[in-house]
């Protein structure tokens, strides 16, 4: 079995694959203050809940945008699984040319998502990841990573309104019944939700133009479901996209598959 670990700023997504099929999937909070032992005990509890034996895990792949957690998780894997993890970073084979001024600047999660999107859906394609930040990544018809855009995530924007506007309350992130709000809360919800929908549609339209007019659009991330039904700019939501990308990278590096 293969354990895949996607470390984001807010959540860590873990997935276990057996014979190329996912058999367990968890989302836990990211906490750089936790020790390797704390993460190890938590992993054992997750395994126990899904009847997974740690000894059956033969390889681990980690993608992380939280550098302080990398040595902690690597220690956890060595101590609790007796394995050396494959960490996505410089020197790792992805099979995707990176046409970025400095390829090292591309976040591991963005590259992993792009690899998965091209493998699953072909190119040209655009990946939108609704996470702590909202990222847009463009992949060419030839499978080249071209670059993209980064904007503040919807949760960050919502909290900023509460923190920096004295009279605005903290709100629940739900879609209001109408765009024209009749209360302060409804106005804030409308501005956040429909403002983000407009952002998605605008950036996707401009990216498609730069890609030649057409591109398949894939959305992922914990908040993707909040927006997909409100726009026709997104072709599919793939919540396992990052894990799938880690799986493809594992194959390329350790099995020699393309």
Question: Quick one: what percent of the chain has pLDDT higher than 70?
Answer: 97
State residue 212's pLDDT score.
93
Cα–Cα distance measured from residue 11 to residue 139, given in angstroms and rounded to the nearest whole number: 25
Domain 2-87, CATH class in plain words: alpha beta
State residue 167's pLDDT score.
65
Q: Please, which pLDDT band fits residue 44 given cuts at 50, 70 and 90?
A: very high
Cα–Cα distance measured from residue 191 to residue 77, given in angstroms and rounded to the nearest whole number: 43
- SS3 string of 74-118? HHHHHHHHCCCCEECCCCCCCCCCECCCCHHHCCHHHHHHHHHHH
11-26: pLDDT as tens digits: 999 999 998 899 999 9
The CATH architecture to which 103-241 belongs is 2-Layer Sandwich (3.30)
Q: What is the mean pLDDT of residues 27-46?
A: 95
- Least-confidence region, from 39-48, 64-73, 76-85, 176-185: 176-185
Where do runs of H (alpha helix) occur along 128-183?
Answer: 154-164
Cα–Cα distance measured from residue 183 to residue 109, given in angstroms and rounded to the nearest whole number: 38
Cα–Cα distance measured from residue 137 to residue 130, given in angstroms and rounded to the nearest whole number: 12
Cβ proximity of 108 and 94 under 8 Å: no
Peptide bond into 124 cis (omega under 30): yes
State residue 255's pLDDT score.
57
146-160: pLDDT as tens digits: 999 999 888 777 777
Q: Which segments of the chain belong to CATH 3.30.420.40?
A: 2-87, 103-241
State residue 257's pLDDT score.
43
Q: What is the mean pLDDT of residues 103-132?
A: 93
CA-closest candidate to residue 219, choices 98, 116, 95, 68: 116
Read off the pTM. Answer: 0.86
* Residue 166 predicted with pLDDT over 90: no
Cβ proximity of 8 and 30 under 8 Å: yes
Tokens of residue 136, six digits: 């847009």
Q: Which helix (H) or strand (E) holds 15?
A: strand 11-18
State residue 98's pLDDT score.
93
State residue 211's pLDDT score.
96
State residue 258's pLDDT score.
41
Q: Which helix (H) or strand (E) holds 189?
A: helix 184-210
State residue 41's pLDDT score.
95
121-139: pLDDT as tens digits: 999 999 999 988 899 999 9
Burial of 213 (0-12, 13-18, 19+ CB in 10 A): exposed
Cβ proximity of 160 and 152 under 8 Å: yes
195-228: pLDDT as tens digits: 889 999 999 999 999 999 999 999 998 778 878 8
Residues annotated catalytic, as ranges: 109
State residue 170's pLDDT score.
73
Question: Quick one: what percent of the chain has pLDDT higher than 90?
Answer: 64
Q: What is the mean pLDDT of residues 35-41?
A: 96
């Amino acid at each position: 079995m293969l354990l895949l670990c996607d470390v984001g700023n807010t959540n860590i997504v873990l997935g276990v694959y057996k014979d190329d099929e996912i058999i367990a999937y968890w989302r836990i909070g990211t906490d750089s203050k936790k020790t390797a032992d704390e993460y190890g005990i938590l992993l054992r509890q997750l395994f126990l809940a899904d009847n997974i034996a740690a000894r059956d895990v033969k390889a681990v792949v980690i993608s992380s945008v939280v550098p302080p957690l990398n040595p902690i998780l690597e220690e956890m894997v060595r101590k609790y699984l007796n394995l050396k993890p494959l960490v996505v970073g410089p020197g790792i084979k992805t099979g995707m040319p990176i046409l970025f001024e400095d390829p090292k600047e591309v976040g591991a999660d963005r590259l992993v998502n792009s690899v998965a999107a091209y493998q699953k859906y072909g190119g040209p394609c655009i990946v939108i990841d609704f996470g702590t930040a909202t990222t847009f990544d463009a992949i060419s018809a030839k499978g080249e990573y071209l670059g993209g855009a980064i904007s503040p995530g919807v949760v960050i924007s919502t909290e900023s309104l509460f923190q920096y506007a004295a009279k605005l309350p903290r709100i629940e992130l739900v879609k209001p019944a109408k765009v024209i709000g009749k209360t302060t809360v409804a106005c804030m919800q409308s501005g956040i939700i429909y403002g983000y929908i407009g952002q998605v549609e605008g950036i996707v339209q401009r990216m498609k133009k730069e890609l030649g007019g057409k591109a398949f659009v894939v959305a992922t991330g914990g908040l993707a479901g909040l927006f997909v039904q409100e726009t026709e700019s997104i072709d599919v939501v793939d919540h396992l996209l990052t894990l799938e990308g880690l799986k493809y990278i594992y194959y390329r590096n350790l099995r020699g598959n393309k």
